[in-house]
């Protein structure tokens, strides 16, 4: 009971749930049921603090406890905001080169939890390799594979590519390439990623339909550019949820 004595002195408790995959539905249900019991115990016996539960928007459904919460949607962070947060915390960008941290912001898609996790994974690799000096973008790309990013974006991409994991990986490659290198010709992208023109067109159609990219014509060429997560959110496309239960 000493633990509850400490808890009841707090005004707010933050519970940050993990990034669930599509195979973690039972785990999410179990976690939310445990949180519900904890909240009920505090409310019934202690009249304790509010509980803030951070959970993925894509998982925000089909559990009774979610209906008891007031939903607050969090906006993805910009690259500048992430860099500023790192600098405020450590008063420097070291041991990262600025371009390396920017690469991590692109990979994390505006989600600060992923940004922190990717920083940790990069540092682990850098230390294990016994390197010195600044961490460069090449080290970041070795530490954070396309497959890892695709796994983290699984719930976002599942509706687009429900049966084609290889297309999910290709979609992530295209998105990251556009974010890092700027707008590019659609035919060039097809050549770069060794796809037939019609295959690239179909892939971009899907990405454009949910706000990952936009296209416009420049003469006879189609120019493709990435839509950053902040702009995507303001246009009404999904991001991450935080929910609160009082």
> What average pLDDT does this structure show over 109-133?
91
Question: Do 104 and 47 sit in the same domain of this protein?
Answer: no
Residue 215's H or E segment, with its range, is: strand 213-218
Phi then psi for 159, rounded to 5 degrees? -65, -25
CATH of the domain at 133: 1.10.8
The answer to whether residue 104 scores a pLDDT higher than 90 is yes
Quote the CA–CA distance of 69 and 3 in Å, as a whole number: 24
Q: Averaging pLDDT over each range in 49-58, 96-105, 152-161, 218-227, which range is the top one?
A: 96-105
- What Rg, from alpha-carbon coordinates, does the chain have? 21
pLDDT digits (tens, 9 = 90+) for 223-243: 999 887 767 766 555 543 334
The verdict on residue 38 lying in a domain is: yes
Quote the CA–CA distance of 171 and 154 in Å, as a whole number: 11
The domain of 49 spans 2-68
The verdict on residue 242 lying in a domain is: no
The verdict on residue 162 lying in a domain is: yes
Question: Do 135 and 170 sit in the same domain of this protein?
Answer: no
Phi then psi for 56, rounded to 5 degrees? -65, 140
pTM here is 0.69
Question: Do 154 and 138 sit in the same domain of this protein?
Answer: no
CATH of the domain at 210: 1.10.10.10
The verdict on residue 240 lying in a domain is: no
Confidence of residue 118 (pLDDT cuts 50, 70, 90): very high
Q: What is the domain count for the chain? A: 3
What pLDDT, on the 0 to 100 scale, is given for residue 138? 93
Q: Which of 74, 69, 29 is nearest to 51 (CA)?
A: 69
Question: Do 129 and 100 sit in the same domain of this protein?
Answer: yes
Quote the CA–CA distance of 208 and 157 in Å, as a whole number: 13
pLDDT digits (tens, 9 = 90+) for 62-75: 788 877 778 777 77
Cα-Cα-Cα-Cα torsion 187, 146, 233, 207, nearest 10 degrees, comes to 30
Question: Do 17 and 61 sit in the same domain of this protein?
Answer: yes
The least confident of 148-152, 196-200, 227-231 is 227-231
């Amino acid at each position: 009971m000493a633990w509850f004595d400490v808890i009841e002195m707090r005004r707010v408790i933050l519970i940050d749930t993990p990034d669930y995959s599509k195979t973690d539905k039972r785990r999410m249900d179990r976690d939310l049921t445990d949180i519900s019991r904890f909240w009920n115990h505090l409310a019934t016996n202690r009249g304790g603090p509010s509980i803030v539960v951070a959970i993925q928007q894509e998982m925000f459904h089909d559990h009774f406890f979610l209906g008891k919460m007031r939903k607050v949607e969090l906006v993805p962070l910009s690259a500048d905001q992430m860099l500023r947060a790192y600098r405020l915390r450590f008063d420097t960008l070291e041991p990262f080169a600025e371009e390396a941290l920017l690469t991590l912001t692109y990979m994390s898609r505006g989600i600060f939890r992923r940004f922190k996790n990717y920083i940790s994974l990069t540092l682990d690799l850098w230390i294990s390799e016994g390197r010195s000096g600044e961490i460069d973008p090449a080290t970041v790309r070795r530490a954070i594979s396309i497959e890892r990013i695709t796994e983290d974006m699984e719930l976002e991409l599942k509706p687009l590519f429900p049966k084609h994991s290889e297309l999910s990986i290709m979609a992530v490659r295209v998105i990251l390439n556009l974010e890092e290198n700027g707008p590019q010709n659609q035919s060039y992208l097809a050549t770069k990623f060794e796809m037939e023109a019609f295959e690239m067109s179909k892939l971009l159609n899907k990405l454009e339909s949910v706000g990952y990219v936009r296209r416009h014509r420049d003469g006879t060429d189609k120019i493709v550019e990435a839509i950053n997560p902040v702009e995507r959110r303001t246009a009404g496309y999904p991001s991450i949820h935080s929910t609160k239960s009082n």
